[in-house]
Structure 1
Amino acid sequence: MEKDCGAWINLLSHKVKARLNAMLQDLGITAVQSRVIYYILVHCQDGPVFQRDIENVFGLSRSTATGILQLLEKNGIIRRESVASDARLKSLVPTERAAMLDSQVRACLRETDRMLTAGLSDGQIQLFKEIAAQMLDNLDHWDTASDCSSDKECPVSKSVHN
């Protein structure tokens, strides 16, 4: 039986995560943590980064993001600092340890991307990104749909959307 798009995406996701986890094991971080560290390091230069940014960018629930960030904080990779305008808000600030991990994390992410795209033309890579973005947009629209016009278009019970 031929795999559907979701099966291919799932397989790619698991393989990428497993390879990244193996590459990052000696650094004491996981694939997901590496991407969060990279995001914080890149974006903190433009202004404060908050937990809600991590949730939105990575599509994480609040509890999942909290768990990841608490572990990064416990391991001395980030710290949370109160924001002057609202003491309830805590910005995520990379520590010296995060800065030390930066080049290794970037190298692992680059190598993973190189392995993923080997044998693909620039045009194919661009097309993949466009298709993946459209699929993500499709899922976002599905998530926000309040009603489905038919069971064929929406195999999930309508009560899920209400």
Structure 2
Amino acid sequence: MRSEEDCGRWINQLAHQIKRRMDARLAGMGVTGVQGRVLHYIMDKCKEGPVFQRDVEQAFTLRRSTATGILQLLEKNGLIRRESVPSDARLKSLVPTEKAGGIHLGMRECIRETEALLTRGVDPDELRVFLQVAKQMSKNLGS
């Protein structure tokens, strides 16, 4: 297989381009792209109920240590706090702070702009097929 036809190469290239763009756009807000995406996830999911570290790990297919590092930085920067759960003192729910609200709006806009740029000129049917294929590839890799 030629390098231009290597799925992994293209996925890796896209991931790096998205990461660089998100990091550059969010730098002024004091978060990286990954921290912003995790914060965005927490802010959206906490409307449905408590959000825990394991939820973040599963949603982003992160190792525990990686998720811990991201969440510790968000906590250190005053964007989330961990609160004990009355039913189980060992569990700590992730709660966004007021400071996170402003970043969340910026993050939402950054995601919207990045998605629009990423999919510009892509036929909706082709995009649907791409998403189906990407989900199947992820499933194939066991995530």
User: The TM-score by the shorter chain falls in which range?
Assistant: over 0.9
- Number of aligned pairs? 141
- Amino acid paired to 1:18: R
Shift of 1:101: 1.2
Q: Distance in 1 between matches of 2:115 and 2:26?
A: 15
State TM-score, norm by structure 2: 0.96
Q: Distance in 2 between matches of 1:2 and 1:77?
A: 42
Q: Gaps spanning 5+ residues in structure 1: where?
A: 144-162
Larger RCO, structure (CA 8 Å, separation 6 or more): 2
Q: Which residue of 2 aligns with 1:73?
A: 75
- Amino acid paired to 1:135: M
Q: Distance in 2 between matches of 1:101 and 1:29?
A: 9
Q: Distance in 2 between matches of 1:31 and 1:101?
A: 11
Alignment of 1:114-133 (within 5 A): 114-133=116-135
- Amino acid paired to 1:38: H
Establish whether residue 2 from structure 1 lines up as the match of residue 3 from structure 2. yes
Q: Distance in 2 between matches of 1:119 and 1:32?
A: 26
Q: Which residue of 1 aligns with 2:99?
A: 97
Shift of 1:2: 3.0
Alignment of 1:130-141 (within 5 A): 130-140=132-142
Q: Which residue of 2 aligns with 1:113?
A: 115
Q: Which has the larger radius of gyration?
A: 1
State TM-score, norm by structure 1: 0.85
Shift of 1:125: 1.3
Aligned-residue sequence identity (percent) comes to 56
Q: Gaps spanning 5+ residues in structure 2: where?
A: none
Q: Secondary structure at the match of 1:89?
A: strand
Q: Which residue of 1 aligns with 2:90?
A: 88
RMSD over aligned CA atoms reads 1.0
Q: Which residue of 2 aligns with 1:147?
A: none
Q: Which residue of 2 aligns with 1:159?
A: none
In 1, are the aligned partners of 2:3 and 2:9 still within 8 Å (CA)?
no
Q: Distance in 2 between matches of 1:6 and 1:91?
A: 35
